[in-house]
Every structure is written in structure tokens, then in C-alpha cells.
Copies of this chain bind each other. A is one copy, B any other.
Amino acid sequence: MPRIAEARAGAEPSSPRQRERRQSILRVAADRAAATGLEQVQMHDVAKSAGVAIGTLYRYFPSKTHLFTALMADQIEGLAARVPERDADTSPEDAVFETLRTATRRLLRRPALATAMIQSSNAARATSVPDLARIDSGFLDLLLRAWGVEQPTEHHITRLRLLILLWYGVLQSRLNERLTPEKAYADLRMGCHLLLAPGPDGG
């Protein structure tokens, strides 16, 4: 990864054709990482398979870190766009848990890709990789919808931030098999209840 490129943000696509090119780059990168892991992904190979010039690739994604952080942000925004309606007999905390379980299962279908996205977003610095903020806001949006909160206050946002931090730990523990699936989902469920349930003061 060229060091100098790391320090700047990627360009934003504006025309439909540019957006399509960006999508095709992300699709190819996802498939490559799922097959080989992050380390083996080569930028020139991604460019070639996506049918774009290497300069175009680097203009959108100055490094692999930018590329896979963007991919994670897109995936989370995709999940946020299709949160199902909550059943009347599901508690808000359980609805959040179900949403997190679905997201986790989807990510774990391609564990090498999930690892690549987590590694990249962990390596990204907030100042030079703006998509990092898109992950955080997309995730918050996803969980606010699942929780059924329309007018979020600092109270909701803080508790969801704690839950997201905990969720990263759970996902990582599944990726390196420190927790069994049963334990991981039981932990996630308990985390939702302890962090989100209304306290004795109703807050």
C-alpha cells in the first residue's frame, strides 16, 4: 500500500456510470477477499477484474484499507435499508438482538471477507478514511430502526454505541473461534438486555 495515498480520502463518484464502476470494484474486491483473505488481494488484480484502470481504482480507493472500509460501510447501510417491521410480541431489546444476529450471520457466511473488513476498519484512521464514520452512523441508524426509536436522544445513542462496541468483540470472537456460536449469541442477547432495557428510573 502506497503510504502517501493513505493520507487522503477517495474521490466520490458522481455520474451513474461512475457509481456503477465503484460498485463493480467493490464486488470484485469482496469476492477476492472472501476467496483469499485480505493480504493476498492485489489492487492491480482488482482493477483488472473490475475492468477499470489502476488510476481509477486508486482515485476512488487510495488503499486496501479505504477499499474494505468502504465495503463494510456499504454493507451496513444495505442492512439498515431493509430492517423488518417488529412483531407486536417482540420486545424492543429482542428486536435489536435479532437484527444484530442477522447481521452477524450474514457477515460470517464469508469469514475471510468479514475479517478483511474488520481488519481494514480497525487499521483506518478516522481523519483520513471518511467511510469509517459512515460505518458508525450506518450501524447506529440500523439499530435505532430495529429498536423502534424515532427521536433518538443522547441516552439512546450512548447505549447503542456501547452495544456496537460489544458486538465487535462478539464478531471477533466468532471469527477466531474463541466463543461457540451458542455462547456468542447468548452473550449478544444478554448484552442487548443489560445495555438497552429501561432502568428502574424508566430511562
Q: A170 CA to B122 CA in the complex, in Å?
A: 12
For window 112-133 of chain A, which residues contact chain B by CB distance below 8 Å? 118-119, 121-127, 132
Among candidates B136, B162, B164, B176, residue contacting A124 with C-beta atoms closer than 8 Å: B176
Which residues of A pack against B, CB within 8 Å? 118-119, 121-127, 132, 136, 158-159, 161-162, 164-170, 172-173, 175-178, 187, 190-191, 194-195, 200
14 contacts across the A-B interface (CB closer than 8 A): A119-B119, A121-B176, A122-B175, A123-B176, A125-B176, A158-B190, A161-B187, A162-B166, A162-B194, A165-B168, A165-B169, A165-B173, A166-B166, A168-B169
A177 with B122: in contact, given A165-B169, A187-B161, A187-B162 (CB under 8 Å)? Answer: no
Q: A187 CA to B164 CA in the complex, in Å?
A: 11
A157 CB to closest chain B CB (Å) equals 11
Among candidates B119, B127, B178, B194, residue contacting A177 with C-beta atoms closer than 8 Å: B127
A107 CB to closest chain B CB (Å) equals 15
